[in-house]
Amino acid sequence: MTIIAEEVLLLAHEETEGKQLVSSAYLDSALGGAILAELAVSGRIALDGKKVVVEDAAPLGNEELDAALARIAGDSKERKPESWVYRLQSGKLRKRLLAGLAERGVLSEDHRRILGIFPSSRYPERDASVEQEIRERVRSALAGAVPDERTAALIAVLRAAKIDRKAFPGLDRQRVKEITEDVWVGKAVAKHIASMNAAAAGSVAAAAS
């Protein structure tokens, strides 16, 4: 079974050539949020007011999820969800998850060098049935079916990182909004991306002046 973060990765890559559909910064933010989302739908964490709290510290048996849960449980203070998106997201997490999907035969790994110098990696699909099942769940929800909690969280994270419009061209944005309006993890990813963009804009303005 795939976790939400792996589902985000599959939908964020083109199937045939394995090209990444959004920037690494957006994708990494989505993955940090997806880890939080999985812990939330598994009953391990919840939103108490504006802070993330641990409700059950029992391991789930997944290395990435258990490490994140232990980190949240062991923190000296309660933090806002967007703070945890920032702390959990990283390029290393993305690469570990991609490697795990490749080891299980879901993806292939294609490592190359552009112009013989710059390293580049692509992850074309090897077992298309895994992503197909994910797409069927999402499409069913977008078509009007009531999504389960995991699917709603997945759609919320995809929307926040603008992966939804790449993975599902022509989707009904109003329907996406209806599904995701109460999903706090999606809002946390959106806030982190907004702050990241604001910081980048500030750096550009400072350099220009």
Per residue of the chain (209 residues), give pLDDT as tens: 899 999 999 999 999 888 899 999 999 999 999 999 999 999 999 999 999 999 999 999 999 999 999 999 999 999 999 999 999 999 999 999 999 999 999 999 887 665 556 666 788 999 999 999 999 999 999 999 999 999 999 999 999 999 999 999 999 999 999 999 999 999 999 999 999 988 777 766 555 55
This prediction's pTM: 0.92
* DSSP letter, residue 20: B
Show the tokens assigned to 40. 């939330």
b/e burial code for range 115-136 (CB count within 10 A of at least 16 → b): eeeeeeebbbbeeeebbeebbe
Q: Is residue 34 part of a domain?
A: yes
The answer to whether position 203 is within a domain reads no
Between CA 41 and CA 43 the distance in angstroms is: 5
pLDDT of residue 200: 72
Looking at residue 21, its pLDDT comes to: 95
The answer to whether residues 178 and 18 touch, using CB atoms and an 8 Å cutoff, is no
Q: What is the pLDDT of residue 171?
A: 95
Is 145 among the domain residues?
yes
Enclosing domain of residue 86: 4-197
pLDDT given at position 56: 98
Q: Does residue 204 lie in a domain region?
A: no
CATH classification at residue 22: 1.10.3630.10
Count up the domains in the chain and report the number: 1
Residue 185 lies in a domain: yes
Helix (H, G, I), strand (E, B) or coil at 111: strand
Per-residue model confidence (pLDDT) at position 150: 97
- Residue 205 belongs to some domain of the structure: no
Q: Is residue 208 part of a domain?
A: no
Asked whether residue 207 is domain-assigned, the answer is: no
